[in-house]
Chains A and B, each alone.
Chain A
């Protein structure tokens, strides 16, 4: 994803060439839809949210100062929108404790247990209070980049770290009875 391409397209759009915005949409549609999906867990809604984010970006294109990367500005705008959208209409999730544990006779074979763990993890993340869930989603979506997460949410880096710590704490408490959090052999192995 080229920074120059973004700058050129933005300049063309600001000069009145609306079609240049298509390049921006093509470059950023996948990250924006995927980020929206992390928030709402609904494919259709994530595209609607991403479309709204692009529309807002188009309307506010003049406010990009070019001091920061276009992606930082775009993600910040999209994150604000997604947070308020999800707070307005939260995704449908059952309280974590009310979800029955899966009873599958093939649970020992490969894949199924992992899928069950994934489902548990997603449910646990979705039942976190919004301010912790938002930080957690962005942190892992943005490849564990604290400054980028802080920038997207317009909060200090220290707050991001504190919320991450608290979010992990809550997750651990929720997941402990269901998933055996075993110690990893090494950090590198898991990457």
Chain B
């Protein structure tokens, strides 16, 4: 792109920018040890051990066991429901249980979602820094 001939001030500004930005006092010479220091960093990077991978293999059985335990607990709790207190009808009890369960499920789902989100973000951040 050549400087325009329309505005003489443009030419002058262009000349100043060209002259000053490429002036000899603007040209840096790399310091003598620069190449060596770059190569040292690169060698360090290549010789460094790879980052330890996340122990999915160990974590997965534990997570499955925990899930099974929770399901088992839920089933056990469902079979051993306490007797109805006197003065409480079956319908109102069922309503209370179902609404409480729905609310709890919502909270549980929300907590799991947040945990997954936090884990994903932290993994991405950690991967980005490598």
Query: Could you list which residues of chain A lie within 8 angstroms of chain B, going by C-beta atoms?
Result: 18-19, 21-22, 25-26, 29-30, 33-34, 37-38, 43, 46-47, 50-51, 54-55, 58-59, 117-118, 121-122, 125, 136-137, 140-141, 144-146, 161, 168, 171-172, 175, 179, 181-184, 187, 190-191
Contacts and interface: CB of A to CB of B under 8 A. Distances in A.
A145 B19 CA distance: 16
Contacts of B10: 168
A121 B46 contact: no
Given A140-B17, A140-B18, A181-B9, A18 B42 contact: yes
B81 interface: no
Interface of B: 1-3, 5, 8-23, 26-31, 34-35, 37-39, 41-43, 45-46
A86 B22 CA distance: 21
A55 B38 contact: yes
Nearest to A179: B16
Contacts, number: 105
A33 B46 contact: no
Q: Is the interface of A mostly helix, strand, loop or mixed?
A: helix
A108 to B, nearest CB: 19
B35 A175 contact: no
B34 A47 contact: yes
Choose among B5, B10, B29, B38 the residue with the greatest number of A CB atoms under 10 Å from its CB: B38
A55 B12 contact: no
Closest 7 CB pairs of A and B: A183-B8, A190-B15, A140-B21, A184-B11, A29-B30, A181-B9, A181-B12
Nearest to A37: B28
